[in-house]
Amino acid sequence: MPHGPPAELKMASTPALRPNRMNAARRLLWRADRRFSPYVYIAPFFLLFIGFGLFPLLYTGYVSLTNRDLLRPGVETYTGLANYRELVGDDYFWNTVKNTLLLMVMCSVPQLVLALVLAHILNARLWLRTLLRMGVLLPNVTSIVAVALVFAQIFSRDFGVVNWALGLVGIDPINWQSGDWTSRSAIAVMVIWRWTGYNALIYLGAMQAIPKELFEAAALDRAGTWRQLWHITLPALRPTIAFTALVSLIGQMQLFTEPLLFDTSPGSVSGGSARQFQTMSLFMYEEGFRLGHLGYGAAVAWLMIVMTFALAGIGYAVTRRAVGTTGAVA
Amino acid sequence: MNARKLDLMVVASAVAWAVVFAGAGCGKGGGSSAGQGSDKGVATAEKTTSPKAEPEAKPPTEAKEKIKLTINDFGVFGYKPMFAEYQQSHPNIEIVESVNEYNTHHSNLINHLAAGGGAADIEAIDEGFIAQLKARPEQFVNLLDFGAGELAKNYPEFKWHGSLSADGKKQIGLGTDVGGLAMCYRTDVFAKAKLPTEAAEVSALWPTWEKYVETGIKFKAAKTGAAFFDAATNLYNGQVFQLEKSYYEPGTNDVIADKNPGIKAAWDLTMKAIAQGLSGKLVAWQPDWVTAFQKGSFATITCPAWMQGYIKEQAPGTAGKWNIAAVPGAAGNWGGSWLTLPAQGKHQKEAYELAVFLTAPAQQVRVFKTVGNFPSAIPAMHDPSVESFKDPFFNNAPTGKIFGESAVNLKPQFQGEKHGPIRKAMEDGITRVEQGRQKPDESFAQAIKDAARAAR
Amino acid sequence: MTDAAQGSLAGLGKLRAHRQRRAAGGAAGEPSGLLTRYPLMVFVVLLSSFPVYWTFTIASQTNDAIGETPPPFLPGGNFLANARRVFDTVDFAKAIGNSFIVAGSITASTLVFCSLAGFAFAKLRFRGRNALLLVVIATMTCPVQLGVIPLYIEMQALGWAQNLLAVIVPTAVTGFGVVFMRQSTVQAVPDELLEAGRMDGCSSWGLYWHVVLPALRPAMAVLGLLTFMQAWNDFMWPVIVLSPKDPTVQVALSTLAAGQYMDYTLVLAGTALATLPILFVFGVFGRRIISGVMEGAVKG
């Protein structure tokens, strides 16, 4: 059983403790380093954010307080919170909130579970494991054009693969776009297909920190794959799972591409003939770009940000124990 | 397989693909053919109404300022050979064209207009977006200022009005092509249903849309297994196009979708057709729809000129089984574009001259001959090569005449700012009924509600 | 030892206890799951790769062939001809080159700066750390579609419109990368090592270079791959700010898709050609970094 830092990673310098004879200048440098280096290290991110992330945010925020028309820049008037008030009372908006949240649950949960299972399996010494590991990432590599094409074919009413398979067991052809739950299920399939490998790779990376000996010992005890997954992999990966859950939540709140592609009506952003799968970002796009109500669309964007925060906060509070220590020692 | 072997495999395949790249990259197609100089002469002669653009004898010592004109378009406008010519006759002008996919092109344009920069000197705008954009005429150059008013008589009324602002004082575009509207039908399926198959007879079957639906009912009774038409939205739109007033009170921002009896009549007839089972309930461009073409799952489809190329490409096996009759009312249009000049542009005069050249009737004829886009200029429509055009794929139907007439007959209809989204709301309503989600009355009420919301 | 190892160790203990109880009860041991593992993986890989396979199949057909029903499932012989058409229609070689420049730059900068920031957030103590981390997470929550307009205005002001810089710089360091690196550092770098390093008089940079980076290699490999892929596939922003004269590969594909109707063999041939470089990058680097280093990396 391993204990303590392994030889490979220990630096070769410890045998004799260096005498702490630093002169004043060095001590000053040392303190400055301890104090300021963190800020230097995080600076690139924040500089870029201030440069390119903050302006769009503030611009959108400002626009949301006006009645700005998309194609009439400069003549908008300040309307305060009017857009937000209208939004809160807007049935169409709450419909999209419902759709987004439903899709979030339908997509995230299976995706993460599958990703975990896949990563666990891929962690072992499988034959052709590298090809398999790369293989699961292919959906994310596949271009949008191909994805749209393939899934349009698969969920096609008259000649699609799924309806054909259902026909074999005597079920009538389903119009996947038209139904509330059928459309959401189809979109969930698209999202899960596309993002499971992505998360599996992240889990795979994190699993490398689990000592191989643990798995070997478990195998010696004749514990099967699933037992190993449950008792060894899962506890080690809790923080990573929390991380992917957070990222998935944020991504699902902004779900845009898959529902857009799924709507067969050309160029439609209404999420189906009855808005059955219109998500918040589609709604934002429709209001801002198709109808030209940029102020209203900006309000949707900001409300989305606030809601994402709220949800993420709730999620964090619920899983707080699982996040793990921050381990600030240096 | 050990690590080394895998590495070798990867490198080998990389090399193989590099060879593919090289093979494909070399031997690029030859450059565009040199000018068809005689046509240019014809073009200048016909351009009696346009402002003087030809350079006279160029003094070789005087170097005009070099200007780069950018033009953004989508699909296939067929302008490449004309650019070469124009650059030859205007040596100080360089033309750079960017082609993009339809939706991408328009959303880029809208983004650039909203951001106040990045649009090209000439932007092509399709019918689907013109209503939204001409409602913001300040974003574009008013071509009337450059004397475009003289060109009005070249165009069918609806085409000229299509890019005219609501108050009629600002013209933002010059028409390039039109779709026109006709009814393409399958002669073999009609024969099975014991209906006439000659184009003239078929056109006589449906002088009105009501008669069209009646024919459909007769067709259904013959039980050929095919639907009468592909999608009910086409039936609805075909009728709405022919109305004097559609969703807006002309010249205003008042939505009259709920009050307009013409809209209600179009809706009701469409509902009747759906109830009678005439619709194939398909959605255009989807895999099902394409397959339906190939299998003959529907007998008629409202088709604009550009649909012919599509049918030929997607269903080549159906050659000779199609014919083209007039659409009920013999007037209609689906598609077509304009060339516009965003106000952001820095070389507006030069851009205008180029746009006039490209949309001149002579050029439109050339485009028709090479790419098949149907001309929007009336003189071009009457050009013999257009008017007498026949395609054996479509049983030599006189498409040149049919589409031309439908475009010329179409009365202009005022399309307000939110015409597009309102139309979409109504179409969604029809789709909901087709899909069985809602009953016609409910769906109409919902559609009106959505339309009002879109227009707010 | 790392948190991960600790968690698993506890798990193994529980597993052992469980096994002993079962053994005591006389139950037989479980099979290793081999029968379920391989078929499942094969199924998954088939599902995952089908659209890519389909892309290549269509890309090697002619347009009338794909119109038939059922459509062809095996590749045809037309790939070179379609590829040639791609190169005739757009300057595809330039697009690929640009995409490599863009994706490569973004990946390099992401790896460097996100690992640095992740290290700082994970292991260094400084005032405002938690608040700033929240800000980082917050930046991930912004929907991008509306941001296009102000960002374009900025690019125009900077003079970067239609320049590759406009596509590289805004996403050079992402919130996702920072949080991911922080997460990985917490999990993979044991505090004892850092303490030992400090005692040896290591500066923060020295800690980063000698202790953190080696431990982070698998995570960085993952982040590098994901970032490269995402940068390669990014479409919405590049298509607005770049011109088709100096495009990335996705912008070029949009030009290919222009047509009165979709010329699928052409578009998918372009797509196939656009996917090849990324598969190549995966093949060479992914294999070497992930599989090789993962085996010999941090051992508890």
What distance in Å separates the CA atoms of residue C53 and residue C146, rounded to the nearest whole number?
A: 35
Please state the CATH superfamily assignment of the domain spanning residues C91-258 in this structure: MetI-like (1.10.3720.10)
Q: Tens digits of per-residue pLDDT, B102-142?
A: 989 999 999 999 999 999 999 999 999 999 999 999 999 99
User: Residue C14 is which amino acid?
Assistant: K
Q: Do A158 and B292 touch (CB under 8 A)?
A: yes
Are the C-beta atoms of C124 and A330 separated by less than 8 Å?
yes
Domains of chain A: 7-53 (no CATH), 82-329 (1.10.3720.10)
What distance in Å separates the CA atoms of residue C52 and residue C48, rounded to the nearest whole number?
A: 8
Whether the CB of B449 is below 8 Å from some CB of chain A: the reply is no
Closest CA to C94 of B25, A272, A269, A102: B25
What distance in Å separates the CA atoms of residue B140 and residue B341, rounded to the nearest whole number?
A: 6
Band (A137; pLDDT cuts 50, 70, 90): confident
**What is the least distance, in Å, from the CA of A290 to any CA of chain B?**
7
Q: Which member of B24, B104, B290 has the closest CB to residue C239? A: B104
Whether the CB of A125 is below 8 Å from some CB of chain C: the reply is no
Are the C-beta atoms of A249 and A311 separated by less than 8 Å?
yes
- A131 versus B335: the higher-pLDDT residue is B335
What distance in Å separates the CA atoms of residue A137 and residue A142, rounded to the nearest whole number?
A: 9
Q: Tens digits of per-residue pLDDT, A3-13?
A: 444 544 444 44
Q: Is the pLDDT of residue A303 over 50?
A: yes
Q: What is the pLDDT of residue A109?
A: 94
Chain B residue closest in CA terms to A290: B421
C169 φ/ψ angles, rounded to the nearest 5 degrees = -65, -45
What distance in Å separates the CA atoms of residue C6 and residue A43, rounded to the nearest whole number?
A: 33
Q: Is the pLDDT of residue A326 over 50?
A: no
Of the CA atoms within 13 Å of residue A53, those in its CB half-sphere come to: 21
Whether the CB of A164 is below 8 Å from some CB of chain B: the reply is no
The neighbour count for residue A246, using CB atoms within 10 Å, is 20
Q: Do B99 and C67 touch (CB under 8 A)?
A: no
Count how many residues are written for chain B. 456
Q: Do B287 and A292 touch (CB under 8 A)?
A: no
Indicate the DSSP class of residue A289. I
Q: What is the pLDDT of residue B46?
A: 35
The SS3 call for residue A51 is helix
The SS3 call for residue B69 is strand
Q: Tens digits of per-residue pLDDT, B42-91?
A: 333 333 343 444 444 444 545 678 999 999 999 889 999 999 999 999 99
Chain A residue closest in CA terms to B10: A131
Q: Which residues of chain C have pLDDT under 50?
A: 24-32, 292-300
The phi-psi region of residue C40 (left if phi > 0; otherwise alpha if psi is between -120 and 50; otherwise beta) is: alpha
Q: What is the pLDDT of residue B315?
A: 85
Closest CA to C19 of A126, A230, A116: A230
The phi-psi region of residue C261 (left if phi > 0; otherwise alpha if psi is between -120 and 50; otherwise beta) is: beta
Which residues on A lie below 8 Å from B420 (Cβ)? 290
Of A95-109, B190-204, C90-104, C237-251, the one with minimum mean pLDDT is C237-251
Of A137-141, A249-253, B187-191, C92-96, the one with minimum mean pLDDT is A137-141
Tell the burial category of C219 from Cβ atoms under 10 Å away from its Cβ (0-12, 13-18, 19+). buried
Helical packing angle, C249-257 and C213-233, nearest 10°: 20
Band (A74; pLDDT cuts 50, 70, 90): confident
Q: What is the pLDDT of residue A134?
A: 80
**What is the least distance, in Å, from the CA of A124 to any CA of chain C?**
10
Q: Do A221 and C179 touch (CB under 8 A)?
A: no
Closest CA to C208 of A329, A327, A41: A41
Q: What is the pLDDT of residue B51?
A: 41
What distance in Å separates the CA atoms of residue A81 and residue B94, rounded to the nearest whole number?
A: 49
Q: What is the pLDDT of residue C141?
A: 87
Q: Do B435 and A153 touch (CB under 8 A)?
A: no
**What is the least distance, in Å, from the CA of A91 to any CA of chain B?**
11
Q: Do C125 and A328 touch (CB under 8 A)?
A: yes
Sign of CA dihedral B234, B240, B246, B250: positive
Which residues on A lie below 8 Å from C119 (Cβ)? 41
Q: What is the pLDDT of residue C164?
A: 93
What distance in Å separates the CA atoms of residue B116 and residue A69, rounded to the nearest whole number?
A: 13
Whether the CB of B133 is below 8 Å from some CB of chain A: the reply is yes
Closest CA to B262 of B278, B247, B252: B247
Which CA distances in Å does A231 have to A49, B274, C8, C111?
41, 59, 7, 32
Chain C residue closest in CA terms to B286: C262
Q: Do A267 and B103 touch (CB under 8 A)?
A: yes
Band (A133; pLDDT cuts 50, 70, 90): confident
Whether the CB of A24 is below 8 Å from some CB of chain B: the reply is no
Tell the burial category of A263 from Cβ atoms under 10 Å away from its Cβ (0-12, 13-18, 19+). buried
Could you state, in order of their start, the residue ranges of all structural domains in chain C? 91-258
Q: Do C153 and B24 touch (CB under 8 A)?
A: no
Q: Do A71 and B291 touch (CB under 8 A)?
A: no
B377 φ/ψ angles, rounded to the nearest 5 degrees = -85, 130
Whether the CB of C127 is below 8 Å from some CB of chain A: the reply is no
The SS3 call for residue B184 is strand
Q: What is the pLDDT of residue A21?
A: 57
* Mean of pLDDT over chain B: 86
Which residues on C lie below 8 Å from A250 (Cβ)? 140-141
Q: Is the pLDDT of residue A329 over 90?
A: no
Which CA distances in Å does C112 have to A293, B18, C120, C168?
41, 30, 13, 15
Q: What is the pLDDT of residue A235?
A: 85
Q: What is the pLDDT of residue C68?
A: 66
Q: Do A152 and B427 touch (CB under 8 A)?
A: no
Peptide bond into A211 cis (omega under 30): no
Q: Do A264 and B116 touch (CB under 8 A)?
A: no
Q: Residue B195 has which token pair?
A: 């209906």
Whether the CB of A134 is below 8 Å from some CB of chain C: the reply is yes
Q: Which member of C69, C240, C292 has the closest CB to residue B108? A: C240
Q: What is the pLDDT of residue B211?
A: 95
Q: What is the pLDDT of residue B150?
A: 94
Closest CA to B414 of B143, B163, B172: B163
Q: What is the pLDDT of residue A321?
A: 55
Instruction: Give this complex's ipTM.
Output: 0.84
Whether the CB of C198 is below 8 Å from some CB of chain A: the reply is yes
Neighbors of chain C by Cβ distance (3+ pairs < 8 Å): A, B
Mean pLDDT value of segment B325-342: 92
Q: Do B310 and C161 touch (CB under 8 A)?
A: no
Mean pLDDT value of segment A188-213: 88
**Residue corresponding to tokens 């067969």:** A264
Rg of chain A taking only CA atoms, in angstroms? 26
Q: What is the pLDDT of residue B140?
A: 97
Q: Do B421 and A267 touch (CB under 8 A)?
A: no
Q: Which member of A2, A253, A254 has the closest CB to residue C300? A: A2
Whether the CB of B87 is below 8 Å from some CB of chain C: the reply is no
Q: Do B115 and C259 touch (CB under 8 A)?
A: no
- A130 versus A111: the higher-pLDDT residue is A111
**What is the least distance, in Å, from the CA of A151 to any CA of chain C?**
9
What distance in Å separates the CA atoms of residue B38 and residue B46, rounded to the nearest whole number?
A: 13
Which residues on A lie below 8 Å from C40 (Cβ)? 121
Which residues on C lie below 8 Å from B116 (Cβ)? 153, 156
Q: Tens digits of per-residue pLDDT, B335-393?
A: 999 999 999 999 999 999 999 999 999 999 999 998 889 999 999 999 999 999 888 89
Sign of CA dihedral A236, A239, A242, A246: negative
Q: What is the pLDDT of residue C15?
A: 67
Whether the CB of A126 is below 8 Å from some CB of chain C: the reply is yes
Q: Tens digits of per-residue pLDDT, A258-277?
A: 999 899 887 899 999 999 99
Q: Residue C170 has which token pair?
A: 């805004």
Whether the CB of B452 is below 8 Å from some CB of chain A: the reply is no
Q: Do A222 and C29 touch (CB under 8 A)?
A: yes
Which residues on A lie below 8 Å from B446 (Cβ)? 274
Mean pLDDT value of segment A172-190: 93
Mean pLDDT value of segment A296-303: 95
Whether the CB of A138 is below 8 Å from some CB of chain C: the reply is yes
Q: Which residues pair with A87 in a beta bridge?
A: none
Whether the CB of C36 is below 8 Å from some CB of chain A: the reply is yes
